[in-house]
Each structure stands twice: as C-alpha cells, then as structure tokens.
Structure 1
C-alpha cells in the first residue's frame, strides 16, 4: 500500500520510539487504514482536490490488483469465458465479486476472504470514482492512468508457442456510423493497424482516448491506422454504440471504432480478454506483431513498447 501521510507516521514513530517493531507496524497499518477511510469519506472542495483524489483512488485500485498477482490470475482463469466483462454495467469490483463467488470452491478460506475483501474495496473505490466524475466531469480530461483496469488472465493475450505469427481473428462488422467493415480489407489497406480494445466505463481506457487519436493521425502519415473495439458495442447494441460515440466525442477521438458479432471468431477472441485496455499491432497480412500492450499508452513503458512494434511492422512492410 502507498503511505501518503509521512508526517503523521513520523510523529507516531517519535511518540512510540520505545515500542517494539511489531507495535510500529500496527501503528502504520492503522494510519494507512485511516488514510483509506478519509479518502472514501472526504469531499473535495474543488476540481483540483477532486483530481488529486481521483488519481489517488486509481493508484490504490491498481495497488490492490498488483498484490497477490498469482491469486488474481487464478480468479480470471476461473471466470466464465462466455461472459462479457461488466456486461450489465457493473463496476470492476462487482464483476470481481461475482467471479470470485462463482469460483469459491477453487480457493482456500483465507484466499476467499482476502479476495472478497479486496474486491469489495475496489467496488467502493469505483463508486467513489463515479461520484467524482459526475460531480467534476472536467477531471476525466486530466486523470489518466497508465495501468490496466484488471490483471491479465487470458491465454488469448499470449502468442503461439511454436514461434509462428498469430493471425488476428477475422471479422465482418460495422463501424459506429453503420459503415461495413471487413478485417481482411482493413488490414490489407494499411501498412500497420493498431487495434485497441476498451469499454465505456473503464477509466484507463477513456483516459487514453485523446492520445490514441493523436497516434492515429501520426499513423495516417505513414500509411497506417488505429481502430477501437468497444466491447459493450458487440452485436450492434444501439444504447452502447450511442454511449461510446458520446465518450469518444467528449475526448475528441475521431478514429474509427468497429463492432462485430460476439459469437464469431473475433467476438470469442474479445470475450477472452480480461485486461483493459489491451492494444494489438497488426501487419498488412493480418498477423499480430509481437505481444499485446496491456495498459494505457499514457504510461511511458507502454507507449515505448507500442512504438517499437509499430516501427517493426512498418519496417517489414517496406522490406
């Protein structure tokens, strides 16, 4: 956990200097718990305070998901592969709670209690984030986060073991304006295509939309393109399409977003992605270049890795 009230902790140490180490740890734990409670109950006085709190909560959520990663991976491996993530609009914590409960017999009592407690905290964080975003909508323009909203737990995010290139699953669908889109025509028309998977209520996903739009403009100069796949819009859900278009417009993102049937090859591929946002680089022949980028490109490491894969695809196309 991230400790932010160093002054309070230092004062506590000075006051209990003669206590044993275990006593100091107890004080630190209590201080951290106090900080958590404060963040969830304090009301920001202005947009600046709201932005700081929003970022703090996102960092805390990521810290929870980064703890006991093997256990979280087990959770997602046990998830119903046919279930679209947060299909009914639930937040991350509710999705996690449902998944954990459904796989309860796969965990020890201690693991189950820890997971349930952690998922409940995430649910509370998400509710607070939504509250802040509704009251201070301007903070969404600034509070971007470079980490994935959920840890990866899908075999579909891994390349083949034999070293051969994995084909991006074919699809025939439409963009959000109703224009027909075929994957083979899309990929063959571009020297490189970046495919970004996201969904409307994913904070890191929405946070990177402006950067993705800028990337699309840069790719266009080199004969490439970027497309988005909003998982809520699969099967042409009209309400989800309208919401996605509204979010894209607010972020100034004009690049093409597409959808397809959930029961097709690409649809099944999509439901096996449990980390968002996830971004793939695809060459002109429809091959996936390298490994997927898990996490928003607003984070430096993700941005650098993505650029390397793009350059690799462009170099191969020129060769």
Structure 2
C-alpha cells in the first residue's frame, strides 16, 4: 500500500476523536441511570470523553493499528458496534503487534464496545441526546485548551484540479466552480464514523443547494489516484446511505491531492464561490449539530452574495 494511503489510515484515530468535540477532562462521574434528557446528555458526553481517553492513552499504538490495517480493514457498517469494528481491525493486523500490545488494544476495544452499547441505549431512549450533546459542546474546553485542533484555513483559492467522479466521468475544478453559485466540498473517508454519520445531512444540504444553483461534492480520501477497491467501497456506502451528490477523486501528487493527504481532521468541509475562491475557514468536524450547520450556512450565504 502506498505511503500516502497509510497516512490516511492514521487519521481514523483523529476521526474518532472528532466525536468528542464536547468532551473536556475533569467531568464528574455519572453512573446512575438518567431520568431526563439533560442527565442523558451529561452521561453521553462523559461516555464520549471516556472513549476519547482510551485512544489518547495509547495514541501511537492506535495509529499503528490503522496504519497496518491497510485497505483490507473491515468496512464500518450501520448497526455494528464500533468496538466490534475495532476488534476486527486489530485481528486483521495482529501479526504486527507484540502480545502485550495486542492485549492493550483488545482491552481498549472491549471497553469501547461497552461504551458504545451504553451510547446506543441512550440514543434509543432519548433520540435527541447525540444532537444535544454536540450542541452543548464546543471545540474548546473552559480552560481554553482546544479539544480538537483547528485547521488554519489560510488558502485564498481552492487548488485547481482535473479529476473524475466515481463513475469515471471527467470533472474539472474550473467548470465545476464556475457552473455553481456555491460549491461545498466535503472531505471524508469510508471508515470514518463521524464522516459517515453526516452523509445524510450532506445529502439534504445538496438538495437545498441544487435549487439555488449550488451543490455538494464529496472527496473520499481513500479514492485518490482512482483506487478501484476504495471507489467500490465508497459507492457501496453512498448507495446504502441514499447519497446522490457527486463524489470525485484526483491524483495524489496534484495540489488538490496534496491538500487531501495533508489534512489531519476528517470530516472537513470547504465552501467555494463561483470564482474558485475559498470562503472563510473550513468547517472541521461533522455538520450534524445546529452550531456547525449555522457556521456552514453562514459561509454558503456569504459565497452566494
């Protein structure tokens, strides 16, 4: 597997951490069963922080899991516990770890499996708990320390590219941007849980933008250079999610490809105007919360002025 793709696998750890945008250390324990939505939200956030800490404690080891797993790692499916997904991934790369490392990784994955079971219970009992947990949080803790690094976003124009969509049709940045009043480019990858979680929101946004002369375009980081297996996996998932908007790829050694390979947080979303100019800073993290949706919508309105 190429080095650039191994680098992408490392980002899976960062993607999991993106789920904890609201989580900060020092929260009190809340082990009793919640009796209302507010208590459920507090418990949800605490559980996400626990999951975050499992990855943070052995960050290098988890990065190695995703590096060694290669593209053969199991596709994260709806309804499958994320802990089970991690256990499958660890099993697929077990020959790359020592006995002690495997013990640590499997123990962590088992803990995450239990946490995910509790999160699922909360989501079933309180359908709005995940959304509320994200709304109540922010990208920084009360002490001012960032829970997720912010993208500098210092880029005036989006890199020009000549690429293709997942069906092999040619796509050029010049025609794409000039043909739209606004283009929302969403960077994601197939095994990124928060990326997959926002696909339906991106589909809904695309339908709204199409009526206004704009569109959403996805860039799956695994599909760079037209990787056939990655494209097949992406198409399978997009079809399952009912996603109709265009997804594209370009060469990894192009400027747009280097932007994708150098990205450290997924999902990340850029807003581009009709002249190919980047509007504001990219939205780092999923846009499923009201706060993120507002930030994205503000940029879209700015682009269409």
Instruction: Give the alignment's TM-score, normalised by structure 1.
Output: 0.58
Cα pair 1:198 1:277 within 8 Å, conserved: yes
Distance 2:47 2:108 in 1: 9
Aligned match for 1:312, one of 283, 302, 305: 302
Distance 2:272 2:195 in 1: 20
Aligned match for 2:261, one of 261, 268, 271: 271
Q: Deviations over 1:42-85 (max 9, x none)?
A: xxxxxxxxxx9xx95x973456548999x99x98xxx99xx899
Matching residue of 2:282 = 292
TM-superposed deviation, 1:278: 0.8
User: Any gaps of 5 or more consecutive residues in structure 2?
Assistant: 1-26, 35-39, 75-84, 91-103, 119-123, 140-146
Distance 2:188 2:280 in 1: 20
Q: Deviations over 1:14-47 (max 9, x none)?
A: xxxxxxxxxxxxxxxxxxxxxxxxxxxxxxxxxx
Distance 2:233 2:170 in 1: 20
Tell which structure's C-alpha radius of gyration is larger: 1
Is the counterpart of residue 158 in structure 1 residue 145 in structure 2? no
Matching residue of 1:60 = 47
Matching residue of 2:143 = none
Q: Deviations over 1:227-246 (max 9, x none)?
A: 00111111111111111111
Give the 3-state SS of the residue equivalent to 1:303 in structure 2.
helix
Matching residue of 2:192 = 202
Distance 1:230 1:259 in 2: 7
Distance 1:210 1:66 in 2: 28
Aligned match for 2:231, one of 241, 244, 249: 241
TM-superposed deviation, 1:267: 1.1
Q: Deviations over 1:167-196 (max 9, x none)?
A: 112221111111101111111111110000
Cα pair 2:203 2:243 within 8 Å, conserved: yes
TM-superposed deviation, 1:202: 1.2
Cα pair 1:170 1:183 within 8 Å, conserved: yes
Give the 3-state SS of the residue equivalent to 2:271 in structure 1.
strand
Q: Deviations over 1:80-116 (max 9, x none)?
A: 9xx8997564878989xxxxxxxxxxxxxxxxxxxxx
User: Any gaps of 5 or more consecutive residues in structure 1?
Assistant: 9-51, 96-116, 133-137
Cα pair 2:216 2:245 within 8 Å, conserved: yes
Distance 1:181 1:122 in 2: 43
Distance 2:260 2:69 in 1: 10
Cα pair 1:188 1:284 within 8 Å, conserved: yes
Matched positions, count: 227
Give the 3-state SS of the residue equivalent to 2:304 in structure 1.
helix
Cα pair 1:212 1:226 within 8 Å, conserved: yes
Moved over 3 A (4+): 1-4, 58-69, 83-95, 119-132, 141-148, 151-154
Cα pair 2:188 2:218 within 8 Å, conserved: yes
Cα pair 1:144 1:207 within 8 Å, conserved: no
Distance 2:51 2:284 in 1: 17
Distance 1:4 1:177 in 2: 49
Provide closer, same or farther for how the CA distance between residues 230 and 68 of structure 1 changes in structure 2, counting only shifts above 3 A.
closer
Cα pair 2:51 2:115 within 8 Å, conserved: no
Distance 2:173 2:109 in 1: 36
Distance 1:314 1:66 in 2: 41
